[in-house]
Amino acid sequence: MDSATVRDQCRALGERIVSWRRDLHRIPEIGIDLPETESYVRARLNELGVELQESYDGVGVVALVCGTAAGSGPVLAVRADMDALEITEATGVDYCSTRPGRMHACGHDAHTAIALGAAAFLQQHRGELAGTVKFIFQPGEESMDGARRMLEAGVLEDPHVDGLLGLHIGGIWDELGAGKVGVSHRAIMAAADAFNFSMSATGSHGAYPHQSPDPVLAASAAIVQLHTLVGRTIDPTAAAVITVGRVEGGRARNIIPSEVTARGTVRTLDESVRAHLRERIGQVIAGAAGAHGCGHGYEYFYGAPPVRGDARLCELVRRAAVDVLGEGEVLEIRKPSLGGEDVSLLMEHAPGCYFGLGGSNPERGIHSIHHNPGFRIDEDVLWRGAAVFCAGALRYLAPRQEQS
């Protein structure tokens, strides 16, 4: 199929993709359990005539577009995340969230709608596919739990997935203007780890601080020192972030509490930096506790690894994107984001390409500040994501004599 046909037909799907995105935007759900969202996705797939799979333990939605060599040809997965965030929307759009305190503030509603658009096109042209496209609609990306659960349920098997595509829309990569596509086989998003720590003591009256070590002071010292680790123990050319985002302790202004707890996140692009910071964070916490006479606890949780694409598949997607959008519309992502994405767990088991789609459009007053109450995207670019998925699938699943 020629690239002009893919481009024109995907552009013609644009209004439907926008409509689906707005429907989903109105009903944001959190975490793994997304009954309304999943019901909506299943209904649209049924309308499109796409075959649904039912064997994933109630986690997510999986569907198949079966081409001429289904069962013998390769299988390409298209993955889209579906969950929202615990944020009160402040965009003022007429399709804003109808769920108080919940909002699609990261673009997952758009990802799902784009994948539905790709399913619509590929189902109509399944005779052009020498293989199968498996659509994976995943919950729980924000909690970094969805990909793991779907893996445990066997999502990359029956049929076995040979390659995987995904995308992220918005303003994550500064170099991607509205509608621009970014592709790279290097790490483009970070490992997203977490840690907890606590400082403990007997506690006492605030007027008699000599009667108990102060866990507030110990925790404060630890937090200050943690934020020096990147600047003073990591190569300046390497990327890393440590953020302590939650601290709890104490009930009254005149009581030295018996415990203070804190939670933080660590973002890295390199495994050696990741291992180094895990060890050094523990040392800092233990040192601060010892210096202030407190007991302490420390837990470190490995999350999703960095998002790093397969070189051959990324090149295939780059060429497909150039074919349908034009050379000047496709860029290499050179500046990685330290945001995390659990699609990387799937890409550990299947070669993958995760590409970016620019969604910010400052000229139109549309700013894609992720995880923000005012998060918006330029909906005019959504069809472009579907076009790249479709062109990539057609190229990946082309009859052998047509592949180039």
Picking from 264, 282, 304, the residue at the C-terminal end of a domain is 304
The answer to whether residues 212 and 256 touch, using CB atoms and an 8 Å cutoff, is: yes
pTM for the model stands at 0.94
Strand residue runs (E) in 252-344 = 255-256, 259-268, 295-304, 307-308, 330-332
- Tell me the one-letter amino acid at 368: S
What residues contact residue 246 under an 8 Å CB cut-off, 6+ apart? 262, 263, 264
Residues of the chain with pLDDT > 70: what percent? 99
pLDDT > 80? residue 299: yes
The answer to whether residues 215 and 199 touch, using CB atoms and an 8 Å cutoff, is: yes
Q: What is the rounded CA–CA span in Å between residue 2 and residue 123?
A: 17
Residue 286 has what pLDDT?
98
Could you tell me if 172 and 134 lie in one domain? yes
Q: Residue 241: in which H helix or E strand, if any?
A: strand 240-249
Residue 78's DSSP bridge partners are: 135, 165
Decide which of 54 and 206 is more confident: 206
Q: What is the rounded CA–CA span in Å between residue 108 and residue 172?
A: 13
Residue 403 has what pLDDT?
52
The domain spanning residue 365 has which CATH number? 3.40.630.10
Residue 71 has what pLDDT?
80
Q: What is the DSSP letter of 161?
A: P
Residue 1 has what pLDDT?
87
Picking from 252, 282, 304, the residue at the C-terminal end of a domain is 304
The domain spanning residue 230 has which CATH number? 3.30.70.360
376-389, pLDDT tens digit by residue?
999 999 999 999 99
Mean pLDDT value of segment 84-105: 98
Could you tell me if 121 and 62 lie in one domain? yes
Mean pLDDT value of segment 28-56: 95
The answer to whether residues 20 and 37 touch, using CB atoms and an 8 Å cutoff, is: no
pLDDT > 90? residue 402: no
Could you tell me if 36 and 98 lie in one domain? yes
228-276, pLDDT tens digit by residue?
999 999 999 999 999 999 999 999 999 999 999 999 999 999 999 999 9
Picking from 304, 327, 352, the residue at the C-terminal end of a domain is 304
Listed range (64-73, 109-118, 265-274, 293-302) with the worst mean pLDDT? 64-73
pLDDT band for position 356 (50/70/90)?
very high
Q: Residue 281: in which H helix or E strand, if any?
A: helix 271-291
Could you tell me if 287 and 315 lie in one domain? no
Mean pLDDT value of segment 171-200: 97
Mean pLDDT value of segment 217-223: 98
Extract long-range pairs of 204-212: CB within 8 Å, 24+ residues apart.
204/255, 204/256, 205/254, 205/255, 205/256, 206/253, 206/254, 206/255, 206/256, 207/254, 209/256, 212/256
Orientation of helix 382-396 relative to helix 311-325, angle to 10°: 120
Q: Beta strands 330-332 and 181-183: pairing type?
A: parallel
pLDDT band for position 72 (50/70/90)?
confident
Cβ-based neighbour number of residue 403 at 10 Å: 11
pLDDT > 80? residue 55: no
The answer to whether residues 387 and 2 touch, using CB atoms and an 8 Å cutoff, is: no
330-353, pLDDT tens digit by residue?
999 999 999 999 999 999 999 999
Which domain does 332 fall in, by range?
3-188+306-402
Based on the structure, what is the number of domains in the chain? 2
Residue 4 has what pLDDT?
96
